[in-house]
Amino acid sequence: MSDPTGLIVAAVVSAAATVFGLVRARRDGRLRDGGRGDALRLSSGELGVALGERATLVQFSTALCASCPGTRRLLAGVAAGTPGVRHVEIDAEARLDLVRRVDVMRTPTVLVLDRAGRVVRRASGAPTRADVVSAVELATAD
């Protein structure tokens, strides 16, 4: 009779990987609450450009990020079509100080800032256009 230990370990690993994949797929790219309330604000000095008059879309990218170019086009398009909204792309490899401060764990990471630089929404992974537009509406609501 053979030992079923290997089969049991393979089944447990497979189940754990499936659960991890499902959870990650559900959360990937979802714009959610900024997480730190008023504690996390970014200034124009930190970003290297002036904040948008109404909102700022901040994207952290890396050279090897496969979904960063698509996210760049999406955010730039939303910014171009929405008065007072600016898109800023940050090279995560060159700005490790800011990456640590903002707690970027993967790219793209997208932050939606209100006019004062307060993070109102954030996403790890590529967000959808509908989520970005909704987050911009939230950031620009007075």
Q: How far is Cα 109 from Cα 32, in angstroms, rounded to an integer? A: 12
Residue 117 zone, left/alpha/beta (φ > 0; ψ -120 to 50; rest): left
Residue 36, pLDDT score: 46
β-pair partners for 32? 122
Cβ contact 120:40 at 8 Å: no
Cβ contact 88:58 at 8 Å: yes
Q: How many CB atoms lie within 10 A of CB 52?
A: 24
Residues of the chain with pLDDT under 50: 36-38
Cβ contact 88:57 at 8 Å: yes
Work out whether strand 119-124 and strand 109-114 pair parallel, antiparallel, or are unpaired: antiparallel
Residue 24, pLDDT score: 65
Residue 28, pLDDT score: 58
What six digits make up the tokens of 64?
Answer: 């090897």
Entry pTM: 0.76
Q: How far is Cα 88 from Cα 44, in angstroms, rounded to an integer? A: 10
Supply the mean pLDDT for the chain. 87
